[in-house]
Structure 1
Amino acid sequence: MVIAKLLAARAGVAERAVYSRHLRRVWGVPGTLLGAGAWPPLFKDKIHTSFNYWWQAHLLDCMVDGYLRSPSELRRRAIGRLVRGIRVRNVLGWTNDFYDDVAWLGLALQRVQRDVGIAKPKAVNAIAERLRDGWTDHAGGGIWWKRDDDFKNVPANGPAAIFLARQNERADLSRARSIVDWVEEHLVDPGSGLAWDGLHVHPNGEIREYEKNIYTYCQGVLIGACVELAKHGQTGKWLDKAARTITAVHDDLATNGVIKGQGGGDGGLFGGILTRYLAQAALAIPDLDPDRHETADLARELVVRSAEAAWLNRTVAISGPLFGPEWTEQAREEEGRDLSVQLGAWMCLEAAALLERSGLDVATA
């Protein structure tokens, strides 16, 4: 059985391993940090040749999770240094050409301001403007994946909707609703209830083809957006969609309640992102609608079982545990080189620790 506060301790161990193995200055600039993309780091990792902008956004999110679990000045300083490191390494500003990257960083910076007290209003405003400009009427609406591209997808629209809803301004909230309505109309499989990846658009605005790949993080951001919107009215409508997606994840994207992995590289983050928004759903849904306790319990169970499996299947490496991309299988060191894989597991452990300190049942048989 999992005992009280054990999940917080596990998350702390994962946090220390990432700090020890991956965090380093940007080009030697004092007061900066960035996550090296792999461990053991090659020379290109040490000098951050590959930036992996959106990995850094999730590293920042995980560091905020750690701060909320156990606030300290050391954690707060590290968060400030990572924010500065991201800005220094991005060279020309806070944004890039990928709307999904920008949205992920925006979500992390919103939390840094709200939960840690480090405000970057120019960054948040620049990101908000970029996301507002990403919406067009091609294919009936939605935000592009990348500037000057022909692809619109859930990984850009989902986090953008969450970000805009959290801006809590009338126009942004309206746009967030429109985004999720568009995703529901165009990118949710009517059979399974799961969100596809995205669609390609002709120059005249007509849909050219669909990318019907199913990724776990697409489900996570759709759940997150629906829960966020449910806090601002039409609660039943949005929670119906969240419940459908949570059930579909349990039925099709989990093995015995453990979320399936989707490899290394970018895929290493996918399961962790899903657990982040499942945990938020497990906490928010009972307050929004007490009659939906079964949906909240299902979300909680997915998080707890996934975290337990990730922990039990870790391997031992220098400076702490090393996690694999598939949490139901014993981790192998060669599969855990990517920062993304370690962040995905750390994110999952923090999600479980959040449920633990919120008083939810985190016991596993």
Structure 2
Amino acid sequence: MTSADASPPVDWADRANEAARSVTALFGRKLFFLPGTHLGAVKWPAPAWRDGLKGTLLHPWHYWWQAHYADCLVDAGRRELRNGAVLTARFNGAGKPSAGRLASRLVTGVWLRNAFTFVNNYYDDMAWLALAVLRLDGLAAKTCKPGRRRNAGVRRSLTLQFDAACTDDLGGGAFWSKKRDFKNTPATAPIALYYARTGHRAKAQSLLDWLDATLFDPDQGLYLDGARLDPEGNVVIDRAVYTYNQGPVLGAQLELGGDANLARAADVVEGVARLLTVPVQHAPAAPGTAGARRMALRCEGTGDGGLFTGILCRYLALAAVDARLPERTRATAARLVLDTAGALWEGKRLAAPSEGAGSSERPGRYIFSMHAADPADATYPHGAVVELSTQLQAWMAFEAAASITIAG
């Protein structure tokens, strides 16, 4: 191959910014038109009446989608900071709020929409928000922005919830909800990661030990969904395997380190590559892999499942740049992220001016597929209602790809 034939390197930061602009333009709005607030609409386009007070209250409330929206904005804010935190570095232009400012407004919006509290009935929801606010606070500290007292209050409130969720029932782990009848990976793993990142390492390791003993399937190299007691008092394992469950476990293992955790992290990356990928037909193979079949992470559809693969990408990206892992593991993690992000990017489509009120004023916005293996023209054809979760998933994948290339 000559230098003239070589493809230019992909600017994943620019692609992440395109996703950020699309999501904030199509889904972002104030809560009840209140200044200083921001939330993501669940669907786009939405009937105009849903923008009012009645419509907002009647619209389904997805707390944890907003947490991941905040996390994506923090990703964009960190890139803005690396570019000097100047007005021209903002993802949406010099005349718009910074990504960090939007994330802070979103946290305020969550508090208001959630009836003046950050507490809800699901411990996994709260764990995702706590992780996002922790990262947001790190961004605020570096940029000397306000909101750190509020952020500390969020963490204090939610840490109390996590302490209550983690009991000796079923041998350990964290309850999923306040029904307290099911302990699972979706709650235990992000709580473990939160504990690890806030200095409660023994608590975090205890949760990982329970996951390893109770829900890790060595044949697959992956974590199963959860455990509950049946009416006779026997432990029953829900053997479903979801992409996103692997992500925060991987994050906690890397955060805590140690030979056992790092070895298990490598097992998880291998298990994901072996069992949670699907072939891609519409996107070209990555540079240097001519003739190879393009594989992307399996996606889980719409609704909550629309977030799953993006979450896994976020934590695979950490594995891809962690020098403590074997080179093969790092390369596998990077390939999974870059191939998935590449397929989602190649499969995008433009939002047409005829779609949704005000779209003609927001030209050049993209719709991303809910499945990396299929283009958006197939999964979200013109006129289809698009869910926020699936668009955050693509944005997360692009941010993950950007973090790998920046680190490299």
Q: CA 1:44/1:251 → structure 2, altered by over 3 Å: closer, same or farther?
A: farther
The answer to whether the 8 A contact 2:20-2:395 is kept is yes
How far does the alpha carbon of each residue in 1:293-339 deviate from its partner, in whole angstroms, 9 at most, with x for none? 11111111111111111101112214411111110111132577110
Q: What's the counterpart of residue 380 of structure 2?
A: 333
Distance 1:76 1:329 in 2: 32
2:64 corresponds to 1:41: no
Structure 1 residue 202: Cα displacement: 4.6
The answer to whether the 8 A contact 2:185-2:224 is kept is yes
Structure 1 residue 203: Cα displacement: 7.6
Match of 2:330 among 285, 296, 302: 296
2:140 corresponds to 1:116: yes
Match of 1:185 among 213, 224, 230: 213
2:333 corresponds to 1:309: no
How far does the alpha carbon of each residue in 1:121-164 deviate from its partner, in whole angstroms, 9 at most, with x for none? 11111111110111111111110000123111101011000001
Structure 1 residue 112: Cα displacement: 0.3
- Specify the code of the residue in structure 2 equivalent to 1:254: T
Q: Higher mean Cα deviation, 20-29 or 114-123?
A: 114-123
How far does the alpha carbon of each residue in 1:174-204 deviate from its partner, in whole angstroms, 9 at most, with x for none? 1110101101111111311111111122589
The answer to whether the 8 A contact 1:37-1:45 is kept is no
Distance 2:103 2:71 in 1: 9
The runs of 5 or more residues in structure 1 that have no matched partner are 360-365
The answer to whether the 8 A contact 2:16-2:399 is kept is yes
Q: What's the counterpart of residue 391 of structure 2?
A: 342
Structure 1 residue 74: Cα displacement: 2.4
2:305 corresponds to 1:267: yes
TM-score by length of 1: 0.91
The answer to whether the 8 A contact 1:95-1:127 is kept is yes
Distance 1:210 1:61 in 2: 31
Q: What's the counterpart of residue 363 of structure 1?
A: none
2:64 corresponds to 1:54: yes
Distance 1:342 1:42 in 2: 19
Structure 1 residue 84: Cα displacement: 0.9
The answer to whether the 8 A contact 1:5-1:357 is kept is no
Q: Higher mean Cα deviation, 192-201 or 159-168?
A: 192-201
The answer to whether the 8 A contact 1:38-1:45 is kept is no
Q: What's the counterpart of residue 29 of structure 2?
A: 24
2:219 corresponds to 1:197: no
Distance 2:35 2:265 in 1: 44
The answer to whether the 8 A contact 1:150-1:202 is kept is no
Match of 2:319 among 265, 277, 281: 281
Distance 1:36 1:324 in 2: 18
- Specify the code of the residue in structure 1 equivalent to 2:229: V
Secondary structure of the residue aligned to 2:228 is strand
Structure 1 residue 344: Cα displacement: 0.3
Secondary structure of the residue aligned to 1:200 is strand
Q: CA 1:3/1:124 → structure 2, altered by over 3 Å: closer, same or farther?
A: farther
Work out which of the two has the higher radius of gyration on C-alpha atoms and give 1 or 2: 2
Distance 1:201 1:336 in 2: 39
Distance 1:141 1:2 in 2: 51
Q: Give the count of matched residue pairs.
A: 347
Secondary structure of the residue aligned to 1:148 is coil
Q: Higher mean Cα deviation, 86-95 or 157-166?
A: 86-95
2:277 corresponds to 1:254: yes
Distance 2:153 2:237 in 1: 36
- Specify the code of the residue in structure 2 equivalent to 1:142: G
Structure 1 residue 99: Cα displacement: 0.4
Q: CA 1:155/1:44 → structure 2, altered by over 3 Å: closer, same or farther?
A: farther
- Specify the code of the residue in structure 1 equivalent to 2:163: R
- Specify the code of the residue in structure 1 equivalent to 2:219: G
Percent of counterpart pairs with the same letter? 35
The answer to whether the 8 A contact 1:141-1:182 is kept is yes
2:138 corresponds to 1:138: no
Q: CA 1:2/1:243 → structure 2, altered by over 3 Å: closer, same or farther?
A: farther
1:203-282 to 2 correspondence within 5 Å?
206-230=233-257, 235-255=258-278, 256-282=294-320
Distance 2:392 2:263 in 1: 30
Please tell me the root mean square deviation across aligned C-alpha atoms, in Å: 1.8
The answer to whether the 8 A contact 2:100-2:139 is kept is no
Which structure: greater helix fraction? 1
Q: What's the counterpart of residue 358 of structure 1?
A: 407
The answer to whether the 8 A contact 1:36-1:45 is kept is no
Match of 1:90 among 97, 114, 117: 114
Distance 1:82 1:248 in 2: 35
The answer to whether the 8 A contact 1:322-1:336 is kept is no
Secondary structure of the residue aligned to 1:70 is helix
Secondary structure of the residue aligned to 2:132 is helix
Q: CA 1:79/1:163 → structure 2, altered by over 3 Å: closer, same or farther?
A: same
